[in-house]
Amino acid sequence: MCRHPGLACCLLLLLGGWGGRGAARAGEQGPAAAGGAWGAARYEAVERHLGAVGALPERYWRYLACKVWQEGCEEEEGEPGPSPGWSLPLVGQDYLAILSAWYCSFSECCKTGDCRIVNNVTGLEADLTGQLHGQHVAREVVVRAVQGFLQSPRPEKALVLSFHGWSGTGKNFVARMVASHLYRDGLKSMCVKTFISLFHFPHHTYMDSYKAQLEKQIRETVQLCRQPLFIFDEAEKLHFSLLDAIKPFMAHYDHKGQVDYRRSIFLFLSNLGGNTINEVALDFWRAGRAREEISVEFLEQRLRLELQEPAENSYAHSHLIKENLIDFFVPFLPLEYHHVKLCARDAFLARGLPYTEAALDEVARMMVFVPKEVKLFSAQGCKSISQRINYFLP
């Protein structure tokens, strides 16, 4: 379970009642993890203390979990101040200080209180600026939404973002970026779950079983991680009945005493509204205006109006919108020729390969551009560009 020594999971093992065994694990792995930073004497002291961990009352561990991860604090709510309503044995206070120091000696975890969560919004913004081409609106909305949410000490509800646009415009790319800048292990993090409608929930006849599984997975992830991220790809194909499984986790908080899921982040990726977004971009182009003049407010409003049109399908997405569960609509603009070239350049760079302007042009010319009369937008965006450059390899 503890892939990296000294991580939150090791402490979770302790908290989970492993007591002595957990301490032994920490004992074996601690010094290696901390490298030279960890003095041997101090380490031994902690080890001695941890050896007695099993003797501590469960309430103390809940207190620690609350202090370190802001988890499991709900039960103590209503009692004023940081001091819990029960008398913490002095020895407990001591453990708390030592354990916190031990925990935080593993550097980057101190700020967020959990090594799995890094919340590098500055990095997210920088990388979106450098690597996401032609999406000034999406970049701005995502950074603002995520930043605002993470800065809020007690969010009222989970953050729900809905990404819209044609395929290949960067929705998946941004979802991956969010995962990799908020979580140390990116999409592989135990805090991050990705669901692809037709892949995870392919058969209509099994919806009840999918629903139960989905509910279980969300619940478990929320329990394991105080800031989980759920990504629903192909959201336009998400079956209506599955929404019932997800909805309670996104709604305003009303289940007192249960696990707090208000720190969850939900991303829904769909191609709904793609045509509307493209029309806006085309109108701007026809009017001779720069693409960058398309404002967040204008595009979001157009998208919202379009999506509120009654849809004749049983898919869940329209209901999400009707019930106001979505906090931000994130429009992805159609990509132009020079954006596709930038994607090709990135693909060459990512493989450490040299490229020429001519090669980039050749890759870009392989894409189909629409509408027919003006051939302005890549119909596939930057999709599978990295495979296409295979043709140019020696």
Ligand X SMILES: *[C@@H]1O[C@H](CO)[C@@H](O)[C@H](O)[C@H]1NC(C)=O
In 3D space, the residue among 275, 266, 260, 257 whose CA is nearest the CA of residue 238 turns out to be 266
Per CB under 6 A, the segment of 56-64, 123-131, 313-321, 375-383 that binds ligand X is: 123-131
Verify binding: residue 118, ligand X, rule CB under 6 A. yes
Alpha carbon distance 249, 116 (integer Å): 21
Alpha carbon distance 145, 44 (integer Å): 44
Verify binding: residue 185, ligand X, rule CB under 6 A. no
Shortest Å distance, C-beta 186 to ligand X = 11
Alpha carbon distance 96, 333 (integer Å): 51
What Å distances lie between residue 66 and 60, 62, 71, CA to CA?
10, 6, 5
Shortest Å distance, C-beta 123 to ligand X = 2
Per CB under 6 A, the segment of 96-104, 121-129, 242-250, 293-301 that binds ligand X is: 121-129
Shortest Å distance, C-beta 112 to ligand X = 11
The one-letter amino acid at 317: H
Q: Which is nearer to ligand X, 130 or 257 (CB)?
A: 130
Verify binding: residue 120, ligand X, rule CB under 6 A. yes
Q: Which is nearer to ligand X, 177 or 250 (CB)?
A: 177
Q: Which is nearer to ligand X, 118 or 265 (CB)?
A: 118
# residues near ligand X by CB under 6 A: 6
Label each residue of 42-71 as H, E or C. HHHHHHHHHHCHHHCCHHHHHHHHHHHHCC
Alpha carbon distance 228, 230 (integer Å): 7
Shortest Å distance, C-beta 115 to ligand X = 12
Verify binding: residue 13, ligand X, rule CB under 6 A. no
Verify binding: residue 123, ligand X, rule CB under 6 A. yes
In 3D space, the residue among 94, 28, 32 whose CA is nearest the CA of residue 60 turns out to be 94
Verify binding: residue 169, ligand X, rule CB under 6 A. no
* Chain position whose Cβ is nearest to ligand X: 123
Beta bridge partners of 161: 267, 328
What Å distances lie between residue 383 and 132, 167, 339, CA to CA?
13, 7, 12
Considering only the C-alpha atoms of the chain, give the largest distance between any 2 of them, rounded to a whole number of Å: 78
Verify binding: residue 127, ligand X, rule CB under 6 A. yes
Site string for ligand X, 294-333 (x = CB under 6 A): ----------------------------------------
Shortest Å distance, C-beta 126 to ligand X = 5
SS3 5: coil
- Please give the backbone phi and psi of residue 240, each rounded to the nearest 5 degrees, phi first: -55, -40
Shortest Å distance, C-beta 108 to ligand X = 6
Alpha carbon distance 179, 181 (integer Å): 6
Q: Which is nearer to ligand X, 106 or 261 (CB)?
A: 106
Cβ contact 36:56 at 8 Å = no
Per CB under 6 A, the segment of 19-27, 43-51, 82-90, 117-125 that binds ligand X is: 117-125
Verify binding: residue 353, ligand X, rule CB under 6 A. no
Q: Which is nearer to ligand X, 126 or 374 (CB)?
A: 126
Whether omega for the bond prior to residue 155 falls within 30 degrees of 0, making it cis, is: no
Verify binding: residue 186, ligand X, rule CB under 6 A. no
Q: Which stretches of the chain bind ligand X, using CB under 6 A?
A: 118, 120, 122-123, 126-127
